[in-house]
Amino acid sequence: MLSDAPKISVVIASYRRHSHLLKVLDQLVPQRYQPHEVFIVDASPLVEQLTDSQIASYPDWLYYLRYVGRGNASRQRNEALMRCSGDIALFLDDDVEFGPDLLEKYVAAFQESGADGVNGVVLIPGEKLSRAPKLLHPIPIQRPGGPNYQAYDGIIETHVICSASFGATRSALMAVGGFDEQLYGTRDDVDLALRMVRNGFRVIHHNGPQVLHLMVRGNGSRSPELGLVWSTANLFYFQFTHRWRRCRMLLLGRTLWDYCRPSRHWLTPHLIGARWLGVIRAYHEAMGRVNEGPRLGWSPGNHEAGAGEPENLAFGQPARTVSHG
């Protein structure tokens, strides 16, 4: 049960979006309901990270972690979750725009609904609120298992969330082990919500909190550095974990058809072979992840994980470096 004035820990996993990240911080400063703490875990090259003077220009709620190693948004978020102490963790992407009432509306949504997870409205440029879910008809490998309510002007229970703007109680996140680090950039948010729902937590879409998601290329599923094999392996892993547990070869065959059928590339037939090999590689990579099992931030049910004040991250001290291979 949340208090009347719950503490909010904002968590931002960032990668190569220096100017947009600063704009997100600038939008947090005038919030009518101030955050208890803001964690940025930045996997950008050192020359593109925030400087000490930039960090020091923000209120003392800011904690900046320099992440060393290949970026993994799920692991970056878990690094912050293990250090945060708020009642609610609010995940924001580093390329969103919002008004000065975003945190206030998240608190109102939690208190009004009693939910354990709240996904606010996430619009993309040129999009407007809708009274119906998005009419998407993805191929089987891309299906999240439910309608997409990101632009829905209403309140409804759903597991198809978007981590560009998603809040959850810290107790629920601790209970399910945080994000699965086998997934990052594609379906990591839906996977988290599915595990929350299956563990008895209530997750909703709420039309109160609203952000504009600029969809800037450079991070997550839009990173040019990751490519088709990585994103397809993510989708295979998600489907094999949650939906296609017994019919994996059937999904492989269907995906080969959807991605590689000649009619899609009749002018460039050489792409068919390249895509075929890419899908096979993605399938084998996903199977390796499945055999390894989920890589959670901590053991599910450990409500004490991450408790306490963040060590060596106090305002005015050098930003902490978190190293991963």
Are 97 and 160 in a shared domain? Answer: yes
Which amino acid, one-letter code, is at 18?
Answer: H
CATH number at residue 188: 3.90.550.10
Are 277 and 131 in a shared domain? Answer: no
Are 187 and 302 in a shared domain? Answer: yes
Both tokens of 155, joined, read 């309140």
- Cα torsion 92, 26, 121, 303: sign: positive
Over residues 215-226, the pLDDT tens digits come to 887 655 445 556
Beta bridge partner(s), residue 96: 213
Are 121 and 102 in a shared domain? Answer: yes
Are 65 and 141 in a shared domain? Answer: yes
Are 100 and 145 in a shared domain? Answer: yes
pLDDT at 299: 82
Are 194 and 266 in a shared domain? Answer: no
Beta bridge partner(s), residue 282: none
State percent of the chain over pLDDT 70: 86
CA distance 131 to 106: 20
Are 69 and 165 in a shared domain? Answer: yes
pTM: 0.90
Strands 62-68 and 8-14: unpaired
User: Which range marks the domain in which residue 44 is found?
Assistant: 8-221+295-323
Are 154 and 178 in a shared domain? Answer: yes
Are 18 and 43 in a shared domain? Answer: yes
Over residues 290-315, the pLDDT tens digits come to 999 999 998 886 545 443 333 333 33
Which DSSP string do the residues of 155-198 spell out, in sequence order?
A: -EE-S---TTEEEEEHHHHHHHTS--TT--SSSHHHHHHHHHHH
Are 112 and 178 in a shared domain? Answer: yes
Which amino acid, one-letter code, is at 227?
Answer: G
Are 71 and 207 in a shared domain? Answer: yes
Over residues 141-191, the pLDDT tens digits come to 999 999 999 999 999 999 999 999 999 999 999 999 999 999 988 899 999
